[in-house]
Amino acid sequence: MRDTTERRGHCLCGEVKITAKNASNGVGACHCKMCRRWGGGPFMEIDCGADIEIDGEENISVFDSSNWAERGFCRNCGTHLFYRLKESGQHMIPVGFFEDSESLAFKSQVFIDEKPDYYEFTNKTKDLTGAECFALFGAS
């Protein structure tokens, strides 16, 4: 099984289309307070790296959410499009954005120390605290 797959998707209104050339087949979840506020629950994402093509970029608004990352959404329909690391251009795109879910497996969870008690995933995943995540990506 390949580690990456080309994936395509679009926002609710269809004005923004993204092709991720090397999307991971591993799904991650972020439990940080900011992600939960952004989407109403954990951010379920696929690491798509920096090799993506965007059609309809004029329809994207970007929110500068920290010193190291920004969040993009469609300014027409509000669909969450990406969490992007500023330095590397690495995109984490919501798993539900893509047309298919073939070959996906739930692999990791970050900010596990901020996960509220009212939900629990039973999958066996690699779990990182916020501090471990910052150390891994060099953010603070």
Q: What is the DSSP string of the chain?
A: --SEEEEEEE-TTSS-EEEEEEEESEEEEE--HHHHHHHSS-EEEEEEES-EEEE-GGGEEEE--SSSEEEEEETTT--EEEEEETTT--EEEEGGGBS--TT-EEEEEE-GGG--TT----S--EEE-HHHHHHHHT--
Q: What is the pLDDT of residues 89-98, one digit of tens each?
A: 999 999 999 9
Q: Quote the number of domains for the chain.
A: 1
What confidence tens digit (pLDDT) does each residue in 47-86 have? 999 999 999 999 999 999 999 899 999 999 999 999 999 9
Task: State the residue range of the domain holding 70.
Answer: 4-137
Q: What is the pTM of this model?
A: 0.91
CATH number at residue 98: 3.90.1590.10
